Amino acid sequence: MIETTDHILTRHPQQNWFSRFQVAAVGVLTLIAIIGKFYLPRLVPNTQWLELPLLLTVYFGLMRRSQVQALLFGSCVGLAEDSLAPDNLPIGMYGITKTLVGYFAASVSLRFNVESWLVRCVLCFFFYVFHELFYWIMRRALLGQMVPFDPQTTLVHGALNALISIPLFLILDKMKVSGTS
């Protein structure tokens, strides 16, 4: 009882403020990424391949190392994406895929050291391909839509997203507060 009281009394008040700032920053960045996914291709041509919400889901899953938190984060990001998706897709398609990506990213982080930029880059490539393949399977199996799947394009876009993840993850690492995960 005394140790807990001492810990509460000796805790720095800035730590609480920084953790709140960090949560707010992640929320704002995620909101910008979701909105940017749909509006960036209108402003900058040929950027529809950029999956910033997916990269944030992967980063959150890898760094938090909590399967439940990553699962919830992925589902919230996916459902927010679904709310902006075209009318021919029901709500839940991105939600399911982002939930699985978040869960698997957190599961991988429990088994492997994910602090290396090379490991993160490979994982971003893998999760992009997984996301696109699973999304394609769901559209064909659940919705009965005959959508094409081009493996070569998917691999190229996966590599581009993996390259984008390197500076993005460095920026997100700089935002982390020391001593928290």
Q: Give the pLDDT score at 179.
A: 45
Residue ranges in the chain whose pLDDT is less than 50: 1, 7-9, 11-18, 178-181
pLDDT (0 to 100) of residue 115? 87
- Both tokens assigned to 143: 């919705």
> Is-contact 98 51, C-beta < 8 A?
no
The pLDDT tens digits of the residues spanning 40-53 come to 988 998 888 999 99
At 8 the pLDDT is 47
Amino acid at 133: L
Determine the pLDDT at residue 145: 86
CB 90 within 8 A of CB 163: no
Q: What is the pLDDT of residue 180?
A: 47
- The rounded distance, in Å, linking the Cα atoms of 138 and 145 is 9
**pLDDT score at 64:** 86
Residue type, 124: C
Q: What is the DSSP letter of 137?
A: H
Tokens at 166, concatenated: 């390197």
pTM: 0.83
65-94 per-position pLDDT tens digit: 889 999 999 999 999 998 887 776 788 889
Q: What is the pLDDT of residue 38?
A: 87
R_g of the chain, CA atoms, integer Å: 18
